[in-house]
Structure 1
Amino acid sequence: MRFNSIIPELSVKNLLISKIFYLEILEFTLEYERIENSFMFLSYGKAQIMLQQINGYWETGKMEHPFGRGVNFQIGCSDVETLVKKLLSNGYGLFQDIEEVSYKENEIEHRVKEFLVQDPDGYLLRFSQSIC
């Protein structure tokens, strides 16, 4: 397995609830897990993320919901509409509905469709689909 140069590791309250959300609803791939450490390594396309049940390590402050305040994780995907339908049909509301936006990269304009959803611990996930 090839590891990205930066891989966020998110502390979660209940690894089983997160596992269901990420694997069954968002359809991430479970690359490996260490059950004895309540840890999972997941991927979604080229994105990689680690989930660790809160254990007292590496906590810089009190863990209060929503976790991850001030950060969102952009994840490239090929079909935002299908993903939104799956989230809504499983009772998950969106933080921000699908919208088309443009982002400039110097003189290049990138058009995307994207939406935002919070995971069970409040981490903000932004799924982005290129449209040009």
Structure 2
Amino acid sequence: MIKRQACVPELSVSDINQSLSFYLDILSFKVDYQRPEDKFAMISIDDCQLMLEETNEYWKTGELVYPFGRGINFQIQVREIDELHQRIKKHQYPIKMEIQENWYRADSVLIGQKEF
């Protein structure tokens, strides 16, 4: 049985096979389960889960214009950020900023993380 996280984003994608190739082959996610007939997949890496579904009329709430998801930012925590960063660069995907260490205040505590 797959342990499901409490909040699992579902992303609409224009081509499920192209999206799976990116997440599986480049980012090293794994498939938890799929429903090929629905063009749907639940994928995960470390403790992060995402659902991918090729666009359809079922969940459509408005016009989708590529690239989808503008105005949203997901933080995906992985054990090997340097390896992930190198795989993305190797496949020449655009990276907005190189890896950097940033510290954020959470009330009176500073929390540091490497991010790109």
Provide TM-score, normalisation by structure 1.
0.83
The two structures, once aligned, show a CA RMSD in angstroms of 1.0
Identify, as 1 or 2, the structure richer in strand: 1
* 1:43 equivalenced with 2:47 (yes/no): no
Structure 1, unmatched stretches of 5+, are: 116-132
Cα deviation 1:89-115 (Å, max 9, x = unaligned): 112120222111101111111111101
- Report matched runs for 1:17-96 at 5 Å: 17-96=18-97
Identity %: 37
Q: CA separation of 1:64/1:2 partners in 2, compared to 1, >3 Å: closer, same or farther? A: same
Amino acid at match of 1:93: P
In the alignment, the residues of structure 1 paired with residue 68 and residue 26 of structure 2 have an alpha-carbon distance, to the nearest angstrom, of 20
In the alignment, the residues of structure 2 paired with residue 52 and residue 74 of structure 1 have an alpha-carbon distance, to the nearest angstrom, of 20
SS across alignment from 2:98: strand
Corresponding residue of 2:5: 4
In the alignment, the residues of structure 2 paired with residue 65 and residue 96 of structure 1 have an alpha-carbon distance, to the nearest angstrom, of 22
In the alignment, the residues of structure 2 paired with residue 65 and residue 80 of structure 1 have an alpha-carbon distance, to the nearest angstrom, of 27
Corresponding residue of 2:104: 103
Runs of 4+ in 1 over 4 A off after TM superposition: none
Kindly state the Cα deviation for residue 62 of structure 1 after the two structures are TM-superposed: 1.0
Kindly state the Cα deviation for residue 12 of structure 1 after the two structures are TM-superposed: 0.3
Kindly state the Cα deviation for residue 79 of structure 1 after the two structures are TM-superposed: 2.2
In the alignment, the residues of structure 2 paired with residue 7 and residue 80 of structure 1 have an alpha-carbon distance, to the nearest angstrom, of 21
SS across alignment from 2:75: strand
Amino acid at match of 1:51: L
Kindly state the Cα deviation for residue 81 of structure 1 after the two structures are TM-superposed: 1.8
Structure 2, unmatched stretches of 5+, are: none
In the alignment, the residues of structure 1 paired with residue 6 and residue 36 of structure 2 have an alpha-carbon distance, to the nearest angstrom, of 24
